[in-house]
Structure 1
Amino acid sequence: MSDNKLLITFKSDLYNYSLEQLRYISEEGVWSIGQMYDHLIVVAHEYLDNMETCATLIEEHPLGKTQFGEQLFRNRGFPPIKIRLPDELNSPPNNSDSMEDLIIRMDQLIQRLRRWESKVDSINPNNKVNHGGFGWLNAREWYDLVGMHFRHHLRQKDELERYIL
């Protein structure tokens, strides 16, 4: 499934949830479905902000990816494990958006991806922005990371749906 279709599927799945289901937290430390969507949208925009920064850079960066970053892109996805960020980077996502708010935010993200789809490969691949865990990524890598991150959360989505459906 293409990244575009994946995001459209995530968006259309929002229609399956009531507000109560979107905000339901099964236990402390586990996100609601709404929080997972908020996380995905916020992080995707951060990745696209970095992609856009690559488009404006004048100075090239010769540095490459970390070992984990190399493995991530070689496999075209995250390993099938839960990844916990350090506490200072791991504040709980927003749990107050309505289904309508999340649909609007998903639409905005999908539109932003579409605007850049035909332009991303024209950005100098040596213009890079550092990712704290993956190393120096170029615009194409930042763009691709959006879909890889959404695919990584498919298992979490399935797990959270089992709690509510």
Structure 2
Amino acid sequence: MDNKKILNQFNKKANEWLVDLRMMDEEVIQIKPSETSWSISEVYDHVMRVARSYQIPNLQKSVTELAKRKKRKNKYGIAIFDLGYRKDVHIKMEKFPKPLVEAFTPAKRDKRDLVKDFLSFIKEVNELQDILEKSGKDHKQYHFMFGDINTREWFSLIELHIWLHDKQKAKIKRYIETKELCIEC
């Protein structure tokens, strides 16, 4: 996949999320279907936290001398990045290394702040285009679930992560509209 297509894919998904966020009321984005589930504001916050604390730093690191390579890309990385396989999965954060869980745990945010931050996030991700343009397939950084993945794959992981949370966001919205029990929101 070329850089322009990767960037367009991210912008399309991010703009869908931005429009959706702008259309929801402050009260709606704070509703949690259960004690253990997240609100919509927390889903947005989580997506940005993961990108800013893990995906973007590793993308940036992949083009430096500090890049760490531990294991070749595994079957999961090949399926996702080489074959374009996307499966609706439900990943529990508790299975991640403890420092990542702490960094990825979302905070409750008010709508105005969240919209402003999401706009800033979209801009930050788009500013990575220069790194994408300068990177090659040999620029890699280790990902604990996929093995060594290259800069473009780190970038596409940002959009993939948003895509993975689409279903969660839809379930929360359905709960808000219907008060239907939501087990895995």
Report the TM range for the smaller structure's normalisation. Answer: 0.7 to 0.9
Call closer, same or farther: CA 1:162–1:126 in 2, change over 3 Å: same
* Aligned counterparts of 1:40 and 1:76: Cα–Cα separation in 2: 21
Call closer, same or farther: CA 1:104–1:57 in 2, change over 3 Å: farther
Counterpart selection for 1:55 from 57, 63, 69: 63
Structure 1 stretch displaced more, 108-117 or 153-162: 108-117
Identical residues among aligned pairs (%): 25
Deviation digits for residues 21-74 of structure 1 (CA, Å, limit 9, x no counterpart) = 111111122111111101111112221111111122367848421222222223
Counterpart contact for 1:72–1:78, Cα < 8 Å = yes
TM-score (norm 1): 0.86
Identify unmatched segments of 5+ residues in structure 2. Answer: 1-7, 178-185
TM-score (norm 2): 0.78
Counterpart selection for 1:15 from 5, 10, 22: 22
Call closer, same or farther: CA 1:57–1:77 in 2, change over 3 Å: farther
Counterpart selection for 1:107 from 94, 119, 123: 119
Matched residue type, 1:81: V
2:41 pairs with 1:34: yes
Please list, as runs of the form range in 1=range in 2, the aligned pairs for 1:123-138 lying within 5 A after superposition.
123-138=135-150
Call closer, same or farther: CA 1:80–1:132 in 2, change over 3 Å: same
Counterpart contact for 2:62–2:140, Cα < 8 Å = yes
- 2:171 aligned residue: 159
**Structural RMSD (CA):** 2.3
Aligned length: 164
